[in-house]
Homo-oligomer: A and B are copies of this chain.
């Protein structure tokens, strides 16, 4: 029957998603319904030339494999750390973790080599797009995603669209400051929520406690001091280490206050917490909202993302949504 045929054709339409992180370069074939058909991972090279070369060879492999998976690739979506001009497909500047990645036109070389349209955006923005297409943000006009991983990023959807701001640095949510002084941040400022509540911030505090012989409690061991991390801190707190609890309490309060600041600025109807630490922070964030948000902003819904791969899914969603619009 015809409607089944159409379903079948839609099912076949797919995107190549590229995720450029500090450590890895990943590519995936993603179906219209958000299925990760196949994933590829390589270390992210340290130079621009090698990076573009690896992206192209991984994408070519994925395109070849897509044929066998009966997937028609509509285009390439790229999620990357750093600040992006999505109109031009250019990475304007980046974190220290991705070298030689400033003032780089990603679209042109990828599009020319693969003969496919290419979209590029910031990883936090891609995470928001992923929620909008496949996650808790489906059908939502105004929502915010905050990703707590190694760092803290995010994206803001207003009237159904990402906001990029006048110089493409809207939704740099990790650098919302919640202390006049406070811990130093990778951005050069201090008191940012990233400096309080990111994976790196928790690791810094875990190491500090370990240095002072204050981290380990009965039933815990850490083989290598250099490997002490956020998970150990959370573990210690669960085992009753009050110093570890205090660090996590401050981190949760800082993240919560940062999120209340977002509520009082753009007043979304939903906050999606994403990233490895999301589940851990959901409770503390809700508590801070109850205590410190204006009563009119307090009824916000806060949820933890269900998506396994927000960056890849968001990168794919640009292709899947925009390829049919035929505009960049």
Cβ-defined contact, B261 with A165, below 8 A = no
- Chain A interface residue bracket vs B: 35 or more
A104 within 8 A of B: no
Return chain B residues, CB-CB under 8 Å to A179. 178-180
A168 within 8 A of B: yes
Return chain B residues, CB-CB under 8 Å to A167. 267, 269, 296-297, 299
A175 within 8 A of B: yes
Cβ-defined contact, A177 with B265, below 8 A = no
Q: Contacts A180-B250, A294-B187 hold; do A265 and B83 have CB atoms under 8 A apart?
A: no
Interface residues of A in 250-277 (CB under 8 A from B): 250, 253-254, 257, 260-269
A169 within 8 A of B: yes
Of the candidates B169, B173, B254, B261, the one whose C-beta lies within 8 Å of that of A176 is B261
Return chain B residues, CB-CB under 8 Å to A142. 165-166
Of the candidates B93, B165, B294, the one whose C-beta lies within 8 Å of that of A175 is B294
Of the candidates B257, B262, B263, B268, the one whose C-beta lies within 8 Å of that of A180 is B257
Shortest CB distance A91–B (Å): 12
Of the candidates B83, B163, B190, B265, the one whose C-beta lies within 8 Å of that of A171 is B265
Shortest CB distance A212–B (Å): 22
A215 within 8 A of B: no
